[in-house]
């Protein structure tokens, strides 16, 4: 599957390929059509959490690559073995 991800902090997003996951239990696979990006995602993209308007910040320590967004809209395309019919 394809995803736009932070591969290097403070650089443009890069299109990456990831293997399709093997679904377990009640997991579902959603083909995303839209994703909302909020201000906290921008901090992660920049590699630092801004604390104030005086230039104070904390360095981000998130494993890379990191796919941004948490407000998704899409279609369920597969379900795990324990999902009721």
Give the model's confidence band at 85: pLDDT under 50 very low, under 70 low, under 90 confident, else very high: confident
The residues near 43 (Cβ < 8 Å, ≥ 6 apart) are: 49, 50, 60
| Tokens matching residue 18 | 């990831």
pTM for the full model?
0.78
* Structure confidence by residue, pLDDT tens digits, 18-64: 999 999 999 999 999 998 888 889 999 999 998 999 989 999 988 99
**pLDDT confidence of residue 69:** 87
Q: What is the DSSP string of the chain?
A: -EEEEESSTTS--EEEE-PPPPP-TT-EEEEEEEEE--HHHHHHHHTEEE-STTS-EEE----SSEE--SEEEEEEEEE-TTS--
């Amino acid at each position: 599957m394809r995803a736009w991800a932070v591969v290097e902090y403070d650089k443009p997003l890069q299109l990456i390929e990831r293997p399709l996951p093997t679904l377990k239990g009640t997991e579902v696979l959603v083909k995303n059509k839209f994703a909302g990006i909020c201000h906290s995602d921008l901090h992660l993209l920049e590699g630092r959490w801004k604390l104030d308007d005086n230039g104070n910040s904390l360095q981000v320590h998130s494993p890379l690559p990191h796919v941004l967004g948490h407000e998704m809209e899409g279609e369920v395309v597969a379900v795990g073995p324990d999902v009721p019919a």
